[in-house]
A and B are shown apart, each in its own frame.
Chain A
Amino acid sequence: MILKSVEKTRRETLAMAAIAGLAAILAPRLSLADEQAVAAEIKKLYGDKKFESGKIKLDVPEIAENGLVVPVNVDIESPMTDADYVKSVHVFAEGNPLPAVVSYRFTPACGKASASTRMRLAETQNIVCIAEMSNGKLHMAKANVKVTIGGCGG
Chain B
Amino acid sequence: MATKPTPRVRVPTQAKPGELIEIKTLISHEMESGQRKDAAGKVVPRKIINKFTAAFNGKTVFEADWNPAISANPYQSFFYKAAESGEFTFTWKDDDGSDYVATNKLTVA
Contacts and interface: CB of A to CB of B under 8 A. Distances in A.
A92 B19 CA distance: 32
Contacts, number: 98
A111 B37 contact: no
Contacts of A80: 81
B61 A118 contact: no
B79 A98 contact: no
Give the one of A69, A80, A102 with max B CB within 10 A: A102
Interface string A66-88: 00111000000000100000000
Contact of B69 (A100, A105, A153): A100
Given A112-B79, A115-B77, A152 B71 contact: no
A119 interface: yes
Contacts of B65: 102-104
Contact of A69 (B63, B67, B71): B71
B108 interface: no
Contacts of B60: 107
A118 B64 CA distance: 13
A109 B108 CA distance: 14
Given A110-B78, A110-B80, A114-B78, A68 B72 contact: yes
10 contacts: A96-B69, A98-B35, A109-B83, A114-B78, A115-B79, A116-B76, A117-B76, A118-B74, A121-B69, A152-B36
